[in-house]
Amino acid sequence: MNNLLKQMQQDAGSTTLDSMGKIGAVATDVADTQKEIQDLEDKLQVKKDYKKHLSESVLPGLFTEVGLSELKLKDGRLVKVSNFYGASIKEENKEAAYKWLRDNGFGDLIKNQVSCSFGMDEDEKARGLINTLSEKGYQSSQREWVEPSTLRAFIREQTEAGNDIPLNLLGAYIVQRTTIKE
């Protein structure tokens, strides 16, 4: 009987050792796979940066040299260079940018949402505020922002109209970008 018990303990021990070995092997495989993924993501970023350089610098420069804005290739693809407008107001510029927009008649670009948070055991306060705001016709919560697509469209409209706007303050930039259509 003792021999059977010892054998069972040894079998259990070797199963544990086998499992530990498997855990180690799988953990190593996970780490190796994560490293491969990171390497691929790094290579992908290099390719994206290279494509951006070609699209926003090299091709627009070549088109400017020959005085064209688009070209149809022999294989039927249309290569076109046009302005791309981007904008994103930085947090540190938000107050000044919103003031400029409001002062210059563009305050309607700013979205304004009001909200209020309450802690534990403040349910009565929350209900009271909601009731007060509701009685006055307001829904509660606040957040101010300008939609990025709206801001880009605004930048494009103002620039194309020849109006002077504070591009840096609005986090705006204009680059030439190439598109290739099949």
pLDDT band (50, 70, 90) for residue 7: low
Domain spans, the chain: 32-68, 70-181
- Tens digits of per-residue pLDDT, 26-56? 999 999 999 999 999 999 999 999 999 999 9
What pLDDT, on the 0 to 100 scale, is given for residue 17?
64
Q: Note if the pTM is more than 0.75.
A: no
Identify residue 120 by its one-letter amino acid code: M
pLDDT band (50, 70, 90) for residue 166: very high
Pairwise CA distance, residues 171 & 56, whole Å:
18
What pLDDT, on the 0 to 100 scale, is given for residue 52?
95
CB 69 within 8 A of CB 63: yes
Give the helix/strand (H/E) hosting 83. strand 78-87
Residues 6+ apart with CB under 8 A from 3: none
Identify residue 40 by its one-letter amino acid code: L
Pairwise CA distance, residues 128 & 134, whole Å:
10
Count the helix, strand and coil residues of the chain and give each as a percent rounded to the nearest 5: 60, 20, 25
What pLDDT, on the 0 to 100 scale, is given for residue 18?
77
Count of H-run helices and E-run strands, the chain: 5, 5
